Structure 1
Amino acid sequence: MTDDATTTVSVPQPKPQPKGMTIHHRRYALTMLFLIYMLNFVDRQIVNILAEPIKRELGLMDWQLGSLTGLSFAIFYATLALPIARWAERANRVRIVALSAITWSLFTAVCGVAQNFTQLFLARVGVGVGEAGCTPASQSLISDYTTREKRASALAFFSMGIPAGSLVGMVVGGLIADSLGWRASFALVGVPGIALGLLAYFTLPEPRTSSVAASGAQSTPSLREALSELGGKRTYIWLTVAMVAMSFGIYSNLAFQSSHFLRNHAEGLGVLAARLHDLTGIQLGPTGFLGTVLGLIVGICGAAGTWLGGRATDRAVARGSLNAYATIPAAAALCLPFALFATYLTSNTVAALCLMGLPMLLQSIYYGPIFAAVQSLVRPRTRATATAIFLFFANLIGLGLGPLSVGLISDVLARSMGSGDGIRWALISTSLVYVLAAMAFMAARKTIRRDIVS
């Protein structure tokens, strides 16, 4: 057998829907998991819009801001995801997701009482600890709720929690920060996650029956067997490389795009906020205005890109084109550097905000295809582990080092360019990582048809 993409092999038929679950149960479950994932990103990303107020009050450098948005969160998020995922292969996944939501929400509220960098860093570590249990268990559940033909769309719907959470985090965080301060923003956004976690614990369906769960504990592959299965999949390895590169670029961009606008377009934002007040009577400060606008851009364009990627991939897979899991995100990744260059190099505030919509759309296209591919590359009882290992590298390298790298580059460039141009060129230089992502996706394309098993 060759690695040629045109090689004809038999692909196992998708398994039937879980017994005892009606279409209404599945819709409720998918909606609940979407809302939990949305709050996951509200609590994860809210620090981005609050970065400048936090920096001023606590006297931080850009590298410290980068560590708060990336490294502090990623260290424990990445390392705990695997043992929690192994637990999820055997235990009740609903309870894992619910308890995770309650934990990260409590630590988000704690961020609001931090008095220095160390305390805030440790509180963000707590957020990462809580969120470590969400994604692997949730994606494993979704794969049990749906058939392979609808898996990319279902996981794309789940992944729409990323732009939706970023929207809510930026808008709500910015508005609360304008009126009550950044500390109140952390405290107030933590409350809904606690309530939703409790609701999920008592109402979310777990497809595994008690008898299936009991027998499954004996049939679940050991960690060594799971690693052996994953290590033999060249597609999985290349998709992991692609995910790391995409995460590095996306989290770097999200962490500092607000800082870029507040430093390079402060005057333009003030003018736009004044015009908004004249037209509507709504009074917003720069942070509240920018949070609202960027939140809408990230939310709307990100949701559109996520939906588009999932729907296009499902249609292509239904026609037998399994390569779409890789080619669709590869095309989007290749276009991203050019879209970001145009956005960050323009001096016109309105043009820059409008141009930001295109990279937000493009960077969201890959969510549905890549997660659906990973879930399809392994047996059902290895899915949570596959996702956890996949996200271990993506978060430790992409999330942990991406924002930190931008912060370090910005601090160095600021010595000669000033803080505005320093952050601009730090963001532009790191956007070239998307080319590596596109190359990795195309490498995965060569073997994906052979490697898909479920």
Structure 2
Amino acid sequence: MTVVAPVGDEMLEPAANGTPGLEAEEGRGSLAGWYLIIVLTLAYTCSFIDRQVLNLLVGPIKAEFGLDDTRLSLLQGLAFTSAYIILSPIFGRVADTGSRKGVLVFGIMLWSIGTSCCGLARSYWQLFAARFGVGGAEACLTPAAWSIIADAFPTRLIPRAFSVYMMGPYLGGGLALIFGGLLLDGAATWDLSDYPLLASLKPWQMVFFLAGAPGILIALLLLFVKEPARRAAKANEAARHMSGAEIWETFRKYKGFYGNFYLGMPLFIITLYAFPAWMPTVLIRKFGVSAGQVGVQYGIAVLVTGSLSVLVSPWVARAIERFGGRRDNLLIVALACSVVLVLLSLSLMFANTYWSAFAVATAASVAYSLPQALSSSALQMVTPNRMRGVASSVYVFVVSVAGLALAPTFVALITDHVFADEGRVGDSLAITCALAAAGSAFFIARALPTYRRMLEEQT
């Protein structure tokens, strides 16, 4: 692995020409670095608004095109996820070999235009194609953003930077519900007769059309970012590309970490997607509470606990390192949260009141949110610079398959084919998440020895 020479409390890596320089230090922990984080966090937030706003428009879209639930679900899942998975490795490789800033500007512009094009669709297949474009373009964000964040900050600040960036999904998911609903209601009363193109759009189309606009502004804000020099430990690492064979050899050499990490974290992600997808239904079916009450209360709980958890996670990890003397603190948090999620998931089966079940769901939101920034940081910190994009895209692939494609379906299959009783969806959710969290704990524990060795090789 690579070796980094310490300079005071931070790290100074060679610039691309192999010699230390000021360019390598620019933006690390500075105003420029935090400006970068703010813009990337806005981009991540925008990406979740664009991908989730469709969930508010199910009714009008079904009525517009005469769809059944299955065909509409393809717009939510297959159209977006298939393109996202296919293009993630491609964007990852481009991020490793070219301009990460360029990749981000291009991708954000493309998915924003794709979202607006959803509002111009006149047929089901036009809408399907637009959603496919949105999913494919959003695949650029993770590999390019993770790589550039790891270069923009000193090692000690990377988890903190990631914790801010990882607020994006929680902010985006909440804002999609809040402002999407406001736009949907407001668009029905707007007088747009002076704007023929907009006047021809129905309210659901207007929501899509306007949802794409913020991304254009965010892409323009990225133009003012100066891409940091690639972080290198060996003098010639940043100056050359890693071949496919070298990347594969690195994965093989450290398979104890990569293999178990790529198995453990997707299992962990199942809890992150399954709880928000099915917990509202659990509360509605089991306790007879209105959808409006659940939406407001649970939505606020997820938004607040998720955002706060990723923000405080670096301090949690630092406390473990300081008082426990563990350099593998980033993965230790993920392991501990996996164990906690097993217990919380099982306790859901015994929650017999609305507020006890709500409390379990809120605690679970803290547990599955806390390790997100830390696990991302752990992957970036031990991966050679010129394969970070590929490593990140592999991570995106496996968590997308587990989270976006499989997590909600697992719960439904148990409910329909094991219990054959929709009233037991809470038990299905508990079983799915408990098994996934237990598997996650097993694989993360197996990843720790190799992860510690990789950290030692950097000193």
- TM-score, normalised on structure 2? 0.79
Percent identity, please.
25
Instruction: Give the count of matched residue pairs.
Output: 418
Equivalent position of 1:283 in the other structure: none
1:291-312 alpha-carbon deviations (Å, 9 max, x no partner): 4433321211001221232222
User: In structure 2, what residue type is equivalent to 1:400?
Assistant: A
Equivalent position of 1:268 in the other structure: 289
- Rate the CA distance shift 1:239–1:55 in 2: closer, same or farther, 3 A: farther
User: In structure 1, what residue type is equivalent to 2:79?
Assistant: S
Counterpart among 156, 159, 164 of residue 157 in structure 1: 164
Counterpart among 195, 210, 217 of residue 188 in structure 1: 210
Confirm or deny: 8 A CA contact 2:26 2:152 kept in the other structure.
Answer: no
Equivalent position of 1:107 in the other structure: 114
Confirm or deny: 8 A CA contact 2:268 2:440 kept in the other structure.
Answer: yes
Equivalent position of 2:439 in the other structure: 436
Distance 1:375 1:367 in 2: 13
Equivalent position of 2:316 in the other structure: 312
Confirm or deny: 8 A CA contact 1:33 1:158 kept in the other structure.
Answer: yes
Counterpart among 234, 239, 242 of residue 261 in structure 2: 239
Equivalent position of 1:381 in the other structure: 386
Distance 1:367 1:47 in 2: 25
Q: CA deviation at 1:369?
A: 1.8
Equivalent position of 1:139 in the other structure: 146
Counterpart among 225, 229, 243 of residue 222 in structure 1: 243
- Rate the CA distance shift 1:380–1:38 in 2: closer, same or farther, 3 A: same
Distance 1:39 1:218 in 2: 33
- Rate the CA distance shift 1:65–1:427 in 2: closer, same or farther, 3 A: farther
Q: CA deviation at 1:26?
A: 1.0
Confirm or deny: 8 A CA contact 1:41 1:165 kept in the other structure.
Answer: yes
Pick which of 185-194 and 35-44 moved more. Answer: 185-194
Confirm or deny: 8 A CA contact 2:266 2:398 kept in the other structure.
Answer: yes
1:260-319 alpha-carbon deviations (Å, 9 max, x no partner): 455556x5226xxxxxxxxxxxxxxx3xx5544333212110012212322222444467
Q: Does 1:38 align with 2:45?
A: yes
Equivalent position of 2:27 in the other structure: 21
Distance 2:4 2:261 in 1: 20
Q: CA deviation at 1:327?
A: 1.6
Distance 2:249 2:157 in 1: 28
Confirm or deny: 8 A CA contact 1:94 1:206 kept in the other structure.
Answer: yes
Counterpart among 335, 344, 351 of residue 339 in structure 1: 344
Aligned-residue CA RMSD (Å): 3.3
1:72-119 alpha-carbon deviations (Å, 9 max, x no partner): 322221221112111112222112112212222232334445677655
Equivalent position of 2:177 in the other structure: 170
Q: Does 1:203 align with 2:224?
A: yes
Alignment of 1:43-54 (within 5 A): 43-48=50-55
Distance 2:428 2:59 in 1: 17
- TM-score, normalised on structure 1? 0.80
User: In structure 2, what residue type is equivalent to 1:138?
Assistant: A
Confirm or deny: 8 A CA contact 1:72 1:400 kept in the other structure.
Answer: no
Equivalent position of 2:450 in the other structure: 447
Distance 1:100 1:29 in 2: 16
